[in-house]
Structure 1
Amino acid sequence: MNWQDFEESVRQIASSHWNAPAKAEEIAGIRCDAVIRVSSDEIVVIEITKEDNLAKLRLDLAKFASIRTALVPEGVVVRSFFISARKVSSLRETGKAQKVEVLSVKEFREKFVGKESYEFARKSVEFGSALDPYTNKSDTGAFIETGYLDKSSGTTYNVDEISDLLSNGRRIILLGEFGTGKSRCAREVFERVSRRNILFPTLAINLREHWGHQSFDLIVRSHLSSLGLSGLEDSAVRLVRSGALAFILDGIDEIGSQSWSGEPERLREIRRRSLQGVRDIVSKLDGKGVLLCGRAHYFSDDEEMLSCLGLDIDTILLNCPDEFTEDQAIDYLRLNTGLTEFPEWSPRKPLICQLFSKLEPETMRKLIEDSTGEVQFFENTFQAICERETRIHPSIDAEVLRKVLLEIAKASRRKNEFNEEISPLEINEAFHQVSGFMPLDEASSILQRLPYLGRVSSGSGNRRFVDDYAKSGLRGVALVEAFRTSDKAVAEDLYRKPVGPFGAKFLFAHALIGSEAEKYCRLCNSRGNMQIAADYLCSAIEAASGSIDFSQVTIRNASIDRLELSDLKISGLHVSGTFFEVLHLDGAFFIDSNFSNCAFQQIIGVSDKVRLPSAFSDDCDFDGFSSADNVARISELPLSNGHKTLVAIIRKLFFQPGSGRKEEALLRGASSYWDRAAATEAVRYMLTNDIITEAPGDHGKLYIPNRKFTRRMGRIRSLLRNCDDELWNVVSRV
């Protein structure tokens, strides 16, 4: 900050504090750095200097005395301040004798702004979900830089660059799914901008703590009160109103949750109304920057998001990568545990890596060696985490802890969209249900720091799942147990939330697809838990091989977050009164199927309502369509036909639902660039190296992917000619 800007900032603080303009002007022929006319009979005079010597102070004391003498006849009281950029302890008594308050910049800042007090208090509480999954306190693990992509320009920003943008007054939105590191990025940015700005704090607010607050002052006051800084509320509100403060706002998708509604416009209005307070903050920025963080798919599109937040098209939209790269994940484990390998089957979300870092190295090695798939790895890790807790706290049994977490996962499915919080009472009730008695003091304390759960806010005892992947996995484990035992209590329960994309893999992984499972779905439908049939549909799609007959089970009054029907032939599927977040339809073919009175937030693979299959009734509501991410777009890649063919094969085998693909299905939709010779060599290599296996199908060969290689195939698909993979090179030589 240059000296002129520094002086202007001091005037801005003074103006905000005394609620009157602070301007450089002459009084009685004497030029003053800042004059604030508080009232007709009181003024404040401020001199600002780089110096810290007695000669300068004496010169300014003489100025103050002359001004005071000149205004005595008018009955005006003069309050005088001498502000130095350096330490002034040796000058304080001299000034006091002349009724002049001598302050360093730091002292002036703390007296009227409270920057240091705020930053100390803010760093002591969590930033969103950037928590240690065991202690539920702020994550203190090593920070791994991932890079945040601006898709419009192709530019990737690091944390320092985001901090520069914020300091320079830019408006930035950071989007990403749960557990991808948005909140940790927000904390790192906060720490950097706090060091750079000499006078003003950047307010870093967890928006989920301010549900229903419709104005900036309510949000700011509530935030400061929660930090124990009620004394700073008035000055902070004045500073915001004067446009002096920048903001970091985490959780734009959590300040007002979406409710189920069949009316897309109603959903939009709910989202817009819940963000009124955020728009109010944005309107007060006056050239200061703001960083907003939230989920990528909360809004229907970017246009709605910008409108709800009060931002314009100059806003920088950044995206968190869904996972660490392999090198980043290994670096994270190395820095936090000393391990130098990462489990093949695990997602590389920062939050999941954080959980792994708490396990003993030998336990992690055993998990890696003993697991043969993503589901098994999750289940083994879940068991290892519970056993670790028992070793640390012998008063609670590992199996009891495991069952308590599964009960909590089931309880979370009963919650409505406005509230996923789990209260201490509900946690204790889950323990009672599992063990038969209420927890004693030590066990009760342990239950308040369960793995996978984090505090809703610093002042609340309520908990919530801190990662969608882990939550979905626990729901999947519980779903398997319900199907295995035909659990009548679950059949009579009332689930509102879906099992989730990862949880949908569990029934298939445990071979719980078929007539007995369908019988249990019908039992659940008859007893009132309609959600179970919808969960089963998502699981059955995972097992589908080109076609699926769903005529034995109907889906009604349920919720589905993501359903992949791409390139499938679907028979007998009847769905009514159901809400879909995302439905993939590219290449789907329906026989004797229908969707009625359903609501769809996003349809992928179809560009508009007119092009929907006839299975969709007119009484369905649609919020958005997208034709992106289908096989046809592969033709636009700057690759040879052979490599386009390879990418199409990888996508169909590894990144679409189903246990395998018929040989003829690999060609579907790709005939314009299909290279038969390249396809033959690619399939031969994949069979030879156990990347896929071949099995007889009803009508020809069936290729089944070995999920162990999903990450490798994903790397080829992402990096293309830069992947340096032998499979890519095999096709290059054709």
Structure 2
Amino acid sequence: MSDNVPTPKEFEDTVRRVARALWPSAARGGAEMVNNREVDGVFRTDEVIHMVEATMNEKVDKARQDGPKLRDHLKRNRSGRGLFAKAWFVTYKDPTAHQREVLHKEFDPNIEVISFERFRAKLVDAREYLELRDKVDWGSASNPQSQSKTKLLPYVPLTIEPVLDEASRDGRRTRVNSRPALPGTLNVEQVVALVEKGERVALLGDYGAGKSMTMRELHAHLGRRYLSGASLRFPITLSLRKHYGQDDPDEAIHRHAKYIGYDHPNKLVRAWRAGYVHVLLDGFDELAAPGWSGSLDHLRENRREATRLIAEFATNTSEEAGVVVAGRRFYFDSLQEMSGSLFDQRDHVRLALNSFTDAQTRLFLEYFKKWDYALPVWLPTRPLLLGHLAAEELLDDIARQAPSSRAEGWDWLLDRVSDREAFIKQGIDGSAVRAVIENLASIARGTLNGVGPVTPFDIANAFTEVRHKQPSDKDLTLLQRLPGLGGEEEDLENGTRRFVDVDLASAAQAAHVSQFIRNPFADNAHRRAHEWTSSMEPLGVEVAAHQTAEVEDGQLKSALSAALRADCDELAADIVRVASINGIDISRSPSGPLTISEAIIPSFDIGEDGPDLSGVSFSHCIFLELTVSGDLATDRIPFFSECSFESVLGRLGPSDLPGSRFSDCEFNDFPDSGDSNAAILDSSSLRPGTRVVMILLRKLYLQRGSGRRDSALPRGMKTADARLVQPALRLLERENLVFRSRVGKSLIWLPDRSSGPRVRAFLLSPRAGDDPLVEASAAITG
């Protein structure tokens, strides 16, 4: 088959497959010899005997060749047998007028002369489905200018990259099992080609990275191919948020058909089961809200059960049809867990959407007539966030006035997004608007992604807490347009809202933690903390640390004790992490340690340059990431009892941790152990400087989290290689691949996510190409 145009034999097989789907009771039907003449298909149902001839030949001679068989079939079965007969002449393209005339005038006017598209439409009217699908929302995609969920901005092509395997030793591009390698970057057309080959594809990206827009673009390309005749299959695209609790693909397709107004869900199901549907599933991270379950294993089982619908689609979709699943990469603890939950460890391709490059950012902002901005490096270039800030006319202020520090910058940005003219005209100042946003962020912290939705009642109540009065009708109208909040189709229908970016939400969530640290005994100081599902993301902790930098040690310790007395363990974990950043000691007291129990903690850092946290104990907690830097003073770190650690950075294995401080703990992964990083360091084919640069880029770009402590980066390296870390960092900084930031007293190195394609290209080919890193890294010496 060339360019998806079938051979005559393949076309005949395709027509027979459609016939079996059309007439399920005749599923055993197929090619037969009838009166010593070969017939492409005979299908016997309880009431009708169908004879089918299929051809790609547009010549009239073909009609004369097949006409006698079809005519005789109708004569034989027309009377006296209790069955009806139908005869079909199916053509690849529209039948010619001459073919139709010959069959009807020379043989039998009851012969159905029909194109394959019309024949297949009897199975399902894909054209109608595609038209109806375009009239409803596409996941979280929206137009930041008009808030429309269907009239979207033109798609700005995002860089799509293969995801490097966590366990890869040689930096090869990830294809599960033994599949051909992919290019370093892909465009939508190349992903479409994978789908047309029947691949299972996981499309990964951060919240607001453009996953839904990219899924819509894939859907549009696949739909156009079907309508033009270039493909035999059409796409159906489901927003998985609308299918929570479902695990049966048939039921999911029925619900989807009802939602878009398609009146023939059974036909969609039959087309899918017959292999004529590519399945696109948007938002696997919307299917569950995993809370505390006692262990990492229970959490993983919860996620596996919640995403069973996807695994059923991946398993039961025809191998000739593709399946694409989109969601946040770090919804799962590891790529291996994702593979098992979504694809039952079957072959699949993993791709990731990268943030906008500088060129893509300029192209995107041209739609807002704002493109010539030098944005701060800490500001994510995710389409949803950029579009919102552009629509709010904030980019000029950000480019000219934003601080360079990440925590200080986000704290400043919250002031800017709150200081809106519409509210000021109503007598509501920016600080009050910010307080409302922070109240809503605290509520959103109890939801799956930490971004919402928040209900109309939540919004009104958040206003009342700040203004000490019920919102007027005019206030309610303004509150529905709060800066930083947007919505999806169902939000617009229900009046709910959600934050447009996870970092914006995280920065706003810092407020209630910093307020509690300053005054833990105020009325309702720990309000909503019992509803939080986990400790804050790293950015939120950094902002809270920035906001409480002048707080005295005793004040913070008092707040920690108050949080634990109120059974607010997630809040207590936040406070300990703030103490770690701000260098505040929480040493052991005669009354014993302060114990945090059953909290989920996204990240935690301990190191030789950190404060004394020996007075803190963690019991039955889950840590998604623990970073250990330098040579630990065992008597200055917390005690961990029966805790689970998904990833431990900066150590090579459990034996590399002090056993006296880690009791009965579970460890899943040590990325700095003797796998990929060690293999790179041991490679004799690479220059020492190149090896060190590769390790630094892997730690900063390919591992979970947003940055690394300066003191943690040399961990796992030999002394000679560790001496090259600082020269390598200076090179990466000159190349604008990393930038430094201060978090409390610690120096943190952060990646520039928009440089992801360049970094991955270098990791795949560190000794060749025209990237300046190739030559400059090789030249690094001690």
TM-score by length of 1: 0.81
Q: Which has the higher contact order (CA 8 A, sep 6+)?
A: 2
User: CA offset at residue 570 of structure 1?
Assistant: 5.0
Matched, 1:117 2:150: no
Residue 48 of structure 2: which of 10, 35, 42 is its match? 42
Q: What CA distance in whole angstroms lies between the structure 2 residues aligned with 1:485 and 1:703? A: 24
How far apart, CA to CA, are the structure 1 residues paired with 2:697 and 2:66? 77
Instruction: Give the letter for the 2:21 counterpart.
Output: S
1 CA distance for matches of 2:594 and 2:510?
21
1:490 to 525, 547, 554: 525
Q: Which residue of 2 aligns with 1:563?
A: 604
Q: What corresponds to 2:556 in structure 1?
A: 517
Match of 2:6 among 2, 6, 16: 2
Ranges in structure 2 where 5+ consecutive residues have no aligned partner: 166-171, 174-182
TM-score between both structures, scaled by the size of structure 2 = 0.77
In structure 1, the partner of 2:17 is 12
Measured after TM superposition, the shift of residue 410 of structure 1 is: 0.7
Matched, 1:471 2:505: yes
Match of 1:365 in 2: 396
Larger displacement relative to structure 2 (454-463 or 219-228): 454-463
My pick for the range that moved more, 535-544 or 220-229, is 535-544
Partner residue of 2:579 out of 540, 553, 557 = 540
Q: Which moved more, 1:8-17 or 1:619-628?
A: 619-628
Cα deviation digits, residues 677-703 of structure 1 (max 9, x gap): 99699989999x9x9899xxxxxxx99
Deviation at 1:180, TM superposition (A): 3.0
1:146 aligned to 2:146?
no
1:140 alignment partner AA: L
Specify whether residues 15 and 618 from structure 1 end up closer, same or farther in structure 2 by C-alpha distance, changes over 3 A only: same
Give runs of aligned pairs for residues 685-724 of structure 1, distance below 5 A: 724=772
Task: Name the CA shift for 1:52/1:359 in 2 (closer, same or farther; >3 Å).
Answer: farther
**1:93-131: CA deviation from partner (whole Å, max 9, x where unpaired):** 997994555544444444421212222233333333333
Query: Which residue of the partner structure matches residue 160 of structure 1?
Result: 189
One of 648, 663, 673 as aligned partner of 2:720: 673
Which residue pairs with 1:504 in the alignment? 541
Question: Aligned residue for 1:332?
Answer: 364
State the 1:346 CA deviation: 1.1
SS of the residue aligned with 1:498? Answer: coil
What do you get for the CA RMSD once the two structures are aligned?
Answer: 4.9
Contact 2:484 2:500 in 1 (8 A): no
Post-superposition shift, 1:375? 3.1
Deviations 1:56-112 (A, max 9, x none): 889977765442222123232123445445557989999799455554444444442
Change (3 A) 1:727 1:548: farther
- Of the three residues 220, 223, 228, the one matched with 2:261 is 228
Quick check: 1:246–1:290 contact (8 Å CA) kept in 2?
A: yes
Pairing 1:577-596 to 2, within 5 Å after superposition: 577-587=620-630, 589=632, 590-592=634-636, 593-596=638-641
Q: Is the 8 A contact 1:682 1:731 kept in 2?
A: no
Whether the 8 Å contact between 1:716 and 1:725 is mirrored in structure 2 is no
Q: Is the 8 A contact 1:659 1:704 kept in 2?
A: no
How many pairs align?
A: 716
Tell me if 1:194 matches 2:235.
no
Distance in 2 between the 1:709 and 1:42 partners? Answer: 67
The aligned counterpart of 1:278 is: 310
CA drift at 1:481: 4.6
Q: 2:657 aligns with which of 612, 616, 631?
A: 612
Say which SS state the counterpart of residue 43 (structure 2) adopts.
strand
Q: 2:36 and 2:757 mapped to 1: Cα distance?
A: 73
Mapped pair 1:247 → 2:279: yes
- Structure 1 alignment gaps of length 5 or more: 695-701
Q: Distance in 1 between matches of 2:461 and 2:346?
A: 49
Question: Which of 335, 342, 357 is 1:309 aligned to?
Answer: 342
Query: Displacement of 1:164 after TM fit?
Result: 0.6
The answer for the alignment partner of 1:78 in structure 2 is 85
Contact 1:644 1:673 in 2 (8 A): no
> Shift in Å at residue 168 of structure 1?
0.6
Are residues 514 and 33 of structure 1, via their aligned partners in 2, closer, same or farther at CA, if it must alter by over 3 Å?
farther
Aligned residue for 1:699?
Answer: none
The 8 Å contact of residues 151 and 318 in structure 1, kept in 2 or not, is answered as no
In the alignment, does 2:594 pair up with 1:554?
yes
Q: Distance in 2 between matches of 1:395 and 1:16?
A: 65
CA distance in 1, matches of 2:728, 2:6: 65
> Structure 1 residue 49: deviation in Å?
5.0
Cα distance, 1:475 vs structure 2: 1.0
Alpha-carbon distance, 1:343 to partner: 0.8
CA contact 2:137–2:149 (8 Å) conserved in 1: yes
The 1:497/1:660 distance shift into structure 2, 3 A limit, reads closer
- Rounded to whole Å, the distance in 1 between the matches of 2:247 and 2:646 is 26
Q: 1:208 to 1:57 in 2, by over 3 A?
A: same
Cα distance in 2 between the residues matched to 1:114 and 1:681: 59
Q: How far apart in 2 are the matches of 1:241 and 1:61?
A: 32
Q: The residue matched to 1:144 in structure 2 has which SS?
A: coil
Tell me how far apart the structure 2 counterparts of residues 442 and 79 of structure 1 sit (CA, whole Å): 68
Which of 426, 429, 432 pairs up with 2:458? 426
Per-residue CA distance 1:168-212 (angstroms, 9 max, x = gap): 112222233323333333222222222223443222222232222
